[in-house]
């Protein structure tokens, strides 16, 4: 008998007085001891499934039909007291942000005790034993010492282990992990996933694993349900759904994901983006149809049922899914003559930060003796985990930080001094694309004004700027009307395009891009990568691409530098480094990437 069953679950939301159907009769079942992955891009409604189970729906959302049954009892209709007695005991949650999920003013021990008391454990000595056992079960070193520590003294991975310990403490029958590893580094993610699998197998728990990462889902889950705009479009055994997709959306997502193995193929860039809540009201028929490459007219009218036996998909034309293809080979990078002056040259550059105040000031080295060369037109990646110094390296190059030691030269001119002359040379040669467009775009400027800020600094006339706006928007593949919008009115992908357009406005010879595709959906990421490839063919700029995502790096860059502890531990052509890693750390990093 299934542990968790959704039967015709219909969720409605009230948006500006209109009732919008979010889920139109959701059906799925989760057997005890199995892992069901819910995958899809942001806005697909994955998290709403978890929220429906806990009945923690945002205001305006309500279940109008159908049931969500846990062990035969409907969680929606159940009395709140009954549901509360199940949550945390029979049903446990592992949250996305481990640092914010723990109470910062209580020690780890106090929080474990509180949780155990709720589970019915009594007595100080027994509580301590339980707490130690829980920490030992998640392989945390020195459990006794950890009890008196506070969340901010632990790393993100350690906090997530504590939360996993709490989740499995009551021997739950169902665990809901909502993007449980998204905020963690890739090597930490691999450990956390292994730990969850181990605990899940040991206690035969069922897990609802919510993630946006298809590759991760393929490795972790027994079954996978792909969601799009509130509909489950494909569900079945993971190997079949992700290996032999029967729905065009699943197929497109997989083709949009840059592969870690095999040839560096082109990516499939789905046009536009997932419809928002408001747009769902006007969507009849198949919700994916407006973006579908193999749609027919009738797809827009008929709502396809989920069909099949074990592996079910909701598509009226499943036979055409195989025909969605991308080019096997990437276009080669433009040819460059050898022996040009490097556009960027770093010689033994170091940067130390001082934290704390005298007399307790501590010097922390973020970058240690880094030397590198970037030739004109070359795409170079810097990879490493958080804290490896890769972002500081980028900031040193553009001059937001000044080096403590070493020499920086841009296009043959020494800019180490960081004086006014160096600044003006930098303005003319290097630009930066920042990670978070929310912070990088002035919310009070219009798009047109943002992307021509470089001209504004030169004091260009309005007509000149207007012409450049037209050219830049066309190049970024954005309609001209967007020029009058504010950044707050744009989607995430559009904002990142504006971000790139602003940096390209002054035609720099080197572009420093810090994590510009992380945090974006796979289909939007593919659009941006495609854009960068195209810009490379049309323009003559080199790229220093700072990223933690190895598959994106493999897709985009010619050469890769691996950073660890502020040093470059390995460098070489991307294919060579990823295919035959020599340094221990590079091997660890590569082994941790789900494939």
Partner 1 sequence: MIRLLRRYFYPSWIRSGRVVIGLLIVLAVLAAAILAPVLAPHDPAEQDLMLTFQPMRLGSPFPLGTDGLGRCVLSRLLHGASLALKVAFIAAIGAMLLGAALAYAAGYLGGWVDWTIGRAVDVWMSFPPVVLSLILMVGLGTGASNVILAIILVDWTRFCRVLRSEVLVVTRRDHVAAARLLGFTHWRTLLLEVVPATIPLLITLLALEMGIAVVVEAILSFVGLGVKPDQVAWGQMIADGREAIYQAPANLLAPVAAIFVTVAGFNLLGDGLRRTLDVRLVEGRG
Piece in contact with partner 1 (CB under 8 A), picked from 24-32, 442-450, 465-473, 555-563: 442-450
What's the CA gap between 277 and 280, in Å, rounded?
Answer: 5
Work out whether 435 is an interface residue with partner 1 (CB under 8 A).
Answer: yes
Q: Which is nearer to partner 1, 304 or 399 (CB)?
A: 399
Work out whether 432 is an interface residue with partner 1 (CB under 8 A).
Answer: yes
Piece in contact with partner 1 (CB under 8 A), picked from 33-41, 212-220, 432-440, 470-478: 432-440
Work out whether 400 is an interface residue with partner 1 (CB under 8 A).
Answer: yes
Distances (CA, A) of 263 to 382, 462, 466, 550, 555: 21, 47, 42, 15, 9
What's the CA gap between 138 and 131, in Å, rounded?
Answer: 11
Is the Cβ–Cβ distance between 346 and 408 less than 8 Å?
Answer: yes
H/E stretch holding 472 reads helix 462-475
Q: Cα(first)–Cα(last) distance of the chain, in Å?
A: 32
3-state secondary structure of 51: helix
Tell me, by CB under 8 A, how many residues bind partner 1. 40
Work out whether 321 is an interface residue with partner 1 (CB under 8 A).
Answer: no
Provide φ and ψ at 79, rounded to 5°.
Answer: -65, 140
Piece in contact with partner 1 (CB under 8 A), picked from 127-135, 168-176, 502-510, 539-547: 502-510
Single residue of 158, 506, 547, 586 touching partner 1 by CB under 8 A: 506
Is the Cβ–Cβ distance between 505 and 472 less than 8 Å?
Answer: yes
Provide φ and ψ at 404, rounded to 5°.
Answer: -80, -30
Single residue of 443, 462, 481, 538 touching partner 1 by CB under 8 A: 443
H/E stretch holding 292 reads none
Smallest gap from residue 471 Cβ to partner 1 (A): 17
Work out whether 436 is an interface residue with partner 1 (CB under 8 A).
Answer: yes
Piece in contact with partner 1 (CB under 8 A), picked from 13-21, 206-214, 302-310, 381-389: 13-21
Smallest gap from residue 444 Cβ to partner 1 (A): 5
Q: Which is nearer to partner 1, 241 or 374 (CB)?
A: 374
465: alpha, beta or left? (left if phi > 0; alpha if psi -120 to 50):
alpha
Work out whether 43 is an interface residue with partner 1 (CB under 8 A).
Answer: yes
Single residue of 502, 509, 536, 555 touching partner 1 by CB under 8 A: 502
Single residue of 337, 444, 463, 481 touching partner 1 by CB under 8 A: 444
Single residue of 410, 454, 556, 562 touching partner 1 by CB under 8 A: 454
Work out whether 489 is an interface residue with partner 1 (CB under 8 A).
Answer: yes
Work out whether 104 is an interface residue with partner 1 (CB under 8 A).
Answer: no
Single residue of 27, 67, 352, 453 touching partner 1 by CB under 8 A: 453
What's the CA gap between 210 and 213, in Å, rounded?
Answer: 9
Is the Cβ–Cβ distance between 36 and 237 less than 8 Å?
Answer: no
Smallest gap from residue 91 Cβ to partner 1 (A): 23
Work out whether 295 is an interface residue with partner 1 (CB under 8 A).
Answer: no
Work out whether 274 is an interface residue with partner 1 (CB under 8 A).
Answer: no
Work out whether 58 is an interface residue with partner 1 (CB under 8 A).
Answer: yes
Q: Which is nearer to partner 1, 326 or 427 (CB)?
A: 427
Q: Which is nearer to partner 1, 155 or 453 (CB)?
A: 453
Work out whether 357 is an interface residue with partner 1 (CB under 8 A).
Answer: no
Q: Which is nearer to partner 1, 48 or 593 (CB)?
A: 48
Hey, what long-range contacts does 236-244 have (CB within 8 A, 24 or more apart)?
236/308, 236/310, 236/311, 236/312, 236/313, 237/310, 237/311, 238/37, 240/310, 240/311, 241/311, 242/214, 242/217, 242/218, 244/311
Work out whether 273 is an interface residue with partner 1 (CB under 8 A).
Answer: no
Work out whether 546 is an interface residue with partner 1 (CB under 8 A).
Answer: no
**C-beta atoms surrounding 275 within 10 Å:** 19
The edge-to-edge listing of strands for the beta sheet with 559-564 is 430-433, 510-514, 542-547, 379-383, 559-564, 567-573
What's the CA gap between 544 and 258, in Å, rounded?
Answer: 19
Single residue of 121, 326, 427, 569 touching partner 1 by CB under 8 A: 427
Question: In sequence order, what DSSP letters do the residues of 79-94 get, joined into one string?
Answer: -HHHHHHHBTTTEEEE
Please give the residue ranges that form the binding site for partner 1 (CB under 8 A): 13, 15-16, 43, 48, 58, 60, 276-278, 398-400, 424, 426-427, 430-432, 434-436, 438-444, 453-454, 456-458, 488-489, 502-503, 505-506
């Amino acid at each position: 008998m299934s542990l968790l069953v959704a039967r015709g679950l219909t969720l409605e939301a009230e948006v500006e007085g209109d009732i919008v159907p979010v889920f139109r009769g959701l059906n799925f079942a989760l057997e005890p001891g199995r892992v069901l992955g819910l995958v899809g891009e942001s806005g697909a409604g994955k998290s709403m499934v978890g929220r429906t189970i806990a009945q923690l729906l945002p205001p305006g959302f309500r279940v109008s039909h159908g049931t969500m049954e846990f062990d035969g009892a409907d969680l929606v209709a159940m009395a709140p007291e009954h549901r509360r007695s199940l949550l945390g005991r029979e049903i446990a949650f592992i949250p996305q942000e481990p640092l914010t999920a723990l109470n910062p003013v209580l020690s780890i021990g106090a929080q474990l005790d509180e949780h155990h008391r709720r589970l019915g454990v009594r007595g100080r000595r027994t509580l301590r034993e339980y707490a130690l056992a829980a920490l030992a079960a998640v392989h945390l070193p020195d459990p006794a010492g950890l009890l008196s520590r506070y969340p901010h003294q632990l790393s993100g991975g350690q906090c997530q282990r504590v939360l996993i310990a709490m989740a499995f403490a009551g021997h739950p029958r169902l665990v809901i992990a909502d993007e449980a590893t998204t905020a963690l580094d890739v090597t930490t993610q691999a450990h956390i996933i292994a730990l969850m699998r181990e605990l899940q197998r040991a206690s035969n728990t069922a897990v609802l694993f919510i993630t946006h990462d298809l590759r991760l889902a393929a490795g972790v889950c027994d079954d996978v349900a792909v969601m799009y705009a509130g509909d489950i479009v494909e569900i079945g055994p993971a190997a079949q759904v992700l290996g032999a997709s029967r729905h065009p959306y699943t197929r497109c997502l997989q083709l949009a994901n840059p592969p870690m193995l095999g040839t560096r193929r082109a990516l499939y860039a789905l046009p536009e983006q997932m419809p928002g809540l408001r747009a769902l009201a006007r969507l009849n028929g198949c919700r994916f149809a407006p973006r579908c490459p193999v749609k027919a007219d009738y797809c827009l009218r008929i709502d396809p049922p989920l069909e099949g036996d074990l592996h079910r998909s909701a598509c009226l034309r499943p036979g055409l899914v195989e025909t969605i293809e991308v080019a096997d080979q990437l276009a080669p990078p433009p040819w460059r003559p050898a022996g040009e002056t490097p556009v960027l040259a770093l010689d033994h550059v170091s940067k130390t930060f001082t934290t704390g105040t005298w007399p307790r000031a501590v010097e922390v080295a973020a970058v240690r003796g880094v030397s590198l060369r970037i030739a004109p037109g070359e795409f170079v990646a810097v990879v490493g985990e958080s804290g490896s110094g890769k972002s500081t390296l980028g900031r040193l190059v553009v001059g937001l930080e000044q080096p403590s030691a070493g020499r920086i030269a841009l296009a043959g001119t020494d800019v180490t001094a960081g004086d006014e002359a160096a600044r003006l040379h930098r303005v003319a040669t290097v630009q930066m694309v920042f990670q978070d467009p929310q912070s990088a775009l002035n919310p009070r400027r219009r798009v047109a004004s943002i992307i021509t800020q470089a001209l504004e600094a030169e004091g260009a006339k309005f007509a000149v700027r207007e012409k450049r706006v037209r050219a830049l928007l066309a190049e970024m593949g954005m309609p001209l009307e967007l020029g009058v919008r504010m950044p707050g009115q744009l989607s995430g992908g559009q904002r990142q395009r504006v971000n790139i357009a602003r940096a390209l406005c002054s035609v720099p010879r080197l572009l420093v891009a810090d994590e510009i595709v992380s945090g974006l959906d796979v289909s939007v990421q593919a659009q941006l990568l495609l854009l960068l490839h195209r810009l490379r063919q049309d323009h003559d700029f080199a790229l220093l691409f700072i990223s933690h995502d190895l598959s994106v790096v493999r897709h985009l860059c010619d050469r890769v530098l691996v950073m660890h502890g502020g040093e470059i531990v390995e460098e070489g052509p991307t294919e060579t480094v990823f295919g035959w890693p020599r340094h221990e750390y590079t091997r660890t990093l590569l082994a941790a990437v789900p494939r």
